[in-house]
Amino acid sequence: MTTAKHLVALGSSFAAGPGIEPVADVQAMRSSNNYAHQLARRLGWQLSDLSVSGATSANVVDTPQQSQIGPGQFPPQLEGLPGNADVVTVTVGGNDLQFSGSMLYTALKHAEPSSPLLEMMGLMFPNGIPPASEDVIAEATRSLVAVIDGIRAQAPTARVVLVDYLTVLEADISTPEATPFTVEELSKLLALQSAIERVFAEAAALRDVDLLLASELGRGHSLGSADPWVQPLHTALDKIGGSFHPNQAGMTAIADDLVGLLAD
């Protein structure tokens, strides 16, 4: 009898799947229909999903993480990585560049100026959308490489698959008319999105690991498209965490591509 392979999922909200029902872990804002859960069901594999919404690369490697919505605290994700893992998927780094937070803060200022979150988030973004500087990109790349190195140290035979961030914005689709952003804000957010793509491409090349380009997969399905794979702005506090994150269709598309990649 063949033993089922063991899939481990590491990462932030773009792996965890906030806003997608059903919820697997409330404190982690993790869905049981994110791409890792769908992939494990498709392949009949064992799954350890360690992803947590809000995680940075440091929260994967060595820094505990406080839940964004409650008193829970999560240990560094690598502490839960079994040494016999067969495949490890990684989607993290966007929070190192403050991508999702920038989108949410900027959108709320326009659409919900009375939101109780704005005062708190204003402390995080005193100058608005942060620039995607070369120094920031280089640091985020080093941090993602550290994630890969940590996986290899702990599970040396595992196949590491980086899954970059599903496309949220496209210049010709995600216009000010279709989004809660101005032309200038869209330009800055698109620069951050491109920076994340660079971080994943450079880290994958530096450590010779697989890279699934969710950023390419999602072209044509961005915010403002006829068939978006990302959620719009949610202003209700119980749903706001899913804003500008993959919806179930987006997670399914990633899982489908991973099935093909892992068949190689």
Name beta bridge partners: 11: 91
Half-sphere exposure of 7 (CA within 13 A, CB side): 24
What is the amino acid identity at position 37? H
The CA–CA distances, whole Å, from 214 to 200, 201, 210 equal: 11, 12, 12
69 pLDDT more than 70 = yes
Cα Dmax for the chain: 59
How confident is the prediction for the chain on average, in pLDDT? 96
Q: Residue 264, Cβ neighbours under 10 Å: how many? A: 5
The CA–CA distances, whole Å, from 162 to 9, 92, 206, 209 equal: 10, 9, 12, 7
Q: Could you read off the pLDDT of 75-127 as tens digits, one per residue?
A: 999 999 999 999 999 999 999 999 999 999 999 999 999 888 898 899 999 99
pLDDT of amino acid 135: 97
**Of 42, 43, 39, which Cα lies nearest the Cα of 9?**
39
Predicted TM-score (pTM) of this structure: 0.96
- Structure token digits, residue 234: 């949610």
71 vs 254, more confident: 254
pLDDT of amino acid 2: 61
Half-sphere exposure of 60 (CA within 13 A, CB side): 34
% of the chain at pLDDT higher than 90: 92
Strands (E), the chain: 6-11, 23-25, 30-31, 46-49, 65-66, 73-74, 87-91, 159-163, 210-212
The domain limits of the chain are 6-263
pLDDT of amino acid 84: 96
Instruction: Phi first, then psi: give them for residue 161, nearest 5 degrees.
Output: -125, 110
- Alpha-carbon gap, residue 250 to 230, rounded angstroms: 7
Query: Which pLDDT band holds residue 1 (cuts at 50, 70, 90)?
Result: very low
What is the CATH class of 6-263?
Answer: alpha beta
Query: Which pLDDT band holds residue 176 (cuts at 50, 70, 90)?
Result: very high
178: DSSP letter = T
249 pLDDT more than 70 = yes
- Do 179 and 51 meet the contact criterion of CB atoms below 8 Å apart? no
% of the chain at pLDDT higher than 70: 99
256 burial type by CB count under 10 A (0-12 exposed, 13-18 middle, 19+ buried) = middle
183 pLDDT more than 90 = yes
| Dihedral over alpha carbons 236, 240, 244, 248 (to 10 degrees) | -90
